[in-house]
Each structure stands twice: as structure tokens, then as C-alpha cells.
Structure 1
Amino acid sequence: MKRVIVDYAKLTTDILDLLIEKYPDGYDYSDILSFKNAKGEYIKAVEVRTEETIYLVKISTKLEQTMEDYAEDEDSFDDEFQFNDLDS
């Protein structure tokens, strides 16, 4: 199974759907995984899975706000906005 570390800026609606489904009321301290990445930096993340991939989504205040905004109004969430952020 593939493991992918995802920053909030690279979230897709599919991953957001998984996050909202798994953590409808937000994540708890017990849901947080801590580990070192390949660069030796400590990362805190929450995990969501598909059949092929384990996504480790980095925790940040922006992640929490994005999850709240998306849960409130999925129709106004725009993948194009997310991908344009990557270019900056």
C-alpha cells in the first residue's frame, strides 16, 4: 500500500471527502500521528485511507479551517483554487 504525505495546499476534494467522512466533528489528539519525514523533520498528521493509498495529511490551522469551510459548503469549494495555490 502506498503512503502519501499531503500538505493542506495540495488537498483535493476526494481527500477532503475522506477527512470529513472520518472526522465529521474534527480530529482529536488521539487521531494525530507524529513521525519524522525523509528530511528528519517532525510531522504531525491525520490518516485517511483508500483501497490503494494511505494519506497522511499534515496538520495545520489552515487544514482545520479548510475542513470546516468544505463541510459547510461543498458546492463552493473549488479544486482550481487549490491547484493555483501550488504555483505561488
Structure 2
Amino acid sequence: MRKGQTPVLKRVIVDYKKLDNNILNLLVEKFPDGYDDDDIVTYRNASNEVVECVEVRTEDTAYLIKVSKRLVMAMEDFDDSDNDDSEDSDLDTDELESSEEE
């Protein structure tokens, strides 16, 4: 890589169901009060459907996390459990799925 050249980031699209605690932690750190419309990245997928995502980056990867009500709930639950110093840090996505109204 030449001097002054920006490194190419690996791009990963992630659905909330596949979030691990590291990515969820990055989301909560970047958006402690939640995200708003200015933070949303939109694109069309191979089926020509509009997909909305928020982006978080590590040194080598740009993660696009698909936006949904479930993502907001997962971030809130993760932040609450982090504040409680809970040892069980697994995200219960089954509970989130059953509580979402579409």
C-alpha cells in the first residue's frame, strides 16, 4: 500500500439475529442514545429491495447492521444488561422476535 492510501475495509452486512456481543457493544458505544435518520445508510439488494442499515467500523471491517425495531430493542437490552453487570451476556433474540409488532 502506498503512503497516503486509505486501507480497503472488509464490508460485512449483518442482520440483528447474527449480532455478536462485540458488534452490539460497538453499536451501543457509537450510538449511546440510539441512532437517527442521519445515521442510516440505504441501498438496494439483489432483489431490488431497499435495505436500511447503520454502520460501525473496526480497524479492518465496516459492519452494516440492518435496521429494525428488533435492533433498537437489542441495543436497549444490551445496554441495560451491561449496566446491571450481568454475567449472562447472551442476547435473547427469541424474546425480541415474539415481542415485535410488524
Q: Tell me, in whole angstroms, the C-alpha distance in 2 between the residues paired with 1:33 and 1:17.
A: 19
Aligned counterpart in structure 2 of residue 58 of structure 1, from 63, 66, 73: 66
TM-score when scaled to structure 1? Answer: 0.84
Shift of 1:39: 3.2
Paired-residue identity, %: 51
Secondary structure class of the residue paired with 2:74? helix
Shift of 1:77: 2.7
Match of 1:16 in 2: 24
User: Which of the two has greater helix per residue?
Assistant: 1
Q: Tell me, in whole angstroms, the C-alpha distance in 2 between the residues paired with 1:26 and 1:4.
A: 21
Shift of 1:45: 0.4
1:10-60 Cα offsets, whole Å, 9 max, x none, are 000000010001000000110011101233221000000001100000000
> Which runs of 5 or more residues in structure 1 are unaligned?
83-88
Q: CA RMSD in A?
A: 1.4
TM-score when scaled to structure 2? Answer: 0.73
Match of 2:56 in 1: 48
> Which runs of 5 or more residues in structure 2 are unaligned?
1-8, 94-102
Structure with larger RCO (C-alpha < 8 A, sep 6+):
1
Letter in 2 for 1:77: S
Q: How many residues align?
A: 81
Considering only CA atoms, is the larger Rg found in Structure 1 or Structure 2? 2
